[in-house]
Copies of this chain bind each other. A is one copy, B any other.
């Protein structure tokens, strides 16, 4: 279990001022002076691919903002299976439940090497009180989580396996060129769509044959957006 590919490494105290995703994350509206006051307790972590950031049910002292990479939020089912309920990308927030004093509701695992900022509950609660812009940002993140959850219900859990997969691929993006869009494992695709690994594999294989997607070295190279969109509406 403790291989070096499942580690969460400390990178340093966050330098929010220099953070390239400042405009995406919670503190985009703060002045430099305000920022300095809160930098101290905020840590910058790197979560290696496949590493677990936190576990469902564990006490939740902090929330996390995603600076780069990709996280999945997973729920374990009573029958041994698992279901992925959210994908978090740059600018998304994980562990907001800490603000209402609840333990983590999911297990967060990195699908790619991922950089996150860990922000203690107290810091966010304080800023939420004192800074209107942080407060606004917080409400927006929360609403965005609801929207993403809705998308999982409407787009990724409704219709045939083909339609769901098409919608998943469109959701993941893979806009033509080289941005490292993740192509999840068949197992994860299954957990995302509520289908089995085998079915996920079959659907992907069929998409390849029909030329709807192109894959090289296990990574997606390009989609046929038109064709996929058509399938998505079945």
Which of B106, B142, B233 makes the CB contact (< 8 A) with A143? B142
CB distance from A82 to the nearest CB of B (A): 10
10 nearest A-B residue pairs (beta carbon) = A149-B149, A157-B157, A78-B233, A142-B142, A100-B143, A85-B153, A75-B154, A100-B140, A152-B153, A85-B150
- 0 or 1 for each of A191-234: is its CB under 8 Å from B? (1 = yes): 00010000000000000000000000000000000000000111
Distance A217 CA – B78 CA, assembled complex (angstroms): 35
Which of B78, B83, B132 makes the CB contact (< 8 A) with A153?
A: B83
- Cα A215 to Cα B83 in complex, Å, equals 33
Which residues on the B side are within 8 Å of A99 (C-beta)?
139, 143
- By beta carbon, the residue of chain B nearest A150 is B85
Whether A143 pairs with B97 at a CB distance below 8 angstroms is yes
Most buried by B among A79, A99, A139: A139
Copies of this chain assembled into the complex: 2
Which A residues are closer than 8 A to B by beta carbons?
Answer: 75, 77-79, 81, 83, 85, 96-97, 99-100, 102, 105-106, 128-129, 132, 135-136, 139-140, 142-143, 145-147, 149-150, 152-154, 157-159, 194, 232-234
Given contacts A105-B147, A153-B149, contact A158 B194 (CB under 8 A): yes
Write the nearest CB–CB distance from A135 to chain B, whole angstroms: 8
The smallest beta-carbon distance between A123 and chain B, in angstroms, is 15
Asked whether, in the complex, the Cβ of B153 is within 8 Å of the Cβ of A77, the reply is no
CB distance from A159 to the nearest CB of B (A): 8
Report the Cα distance A82→B150, complex, angstroms: 13
B157 contacts A153, CB within 8 Å?
Answer: yes
Residue pairs across A and B with Cβ atoms less than 8 A apart, 29 shown, are A77-B154, A78-B233, A79-B159, A79-B233, A79-B234, A81-B158, A83-B153, A83-B158, A85-B150, A85-B154, A96-B143, A96-B146, A99-B139, A99-B143, A100-B139, A100-B140, A102-B143, A105-B147, A106-B150, A129-B132, A139-B142, A142-B146, A145-B146, A146-B146, A149-B149, A149-B150, A152-B153, A157-B157, A157-B194
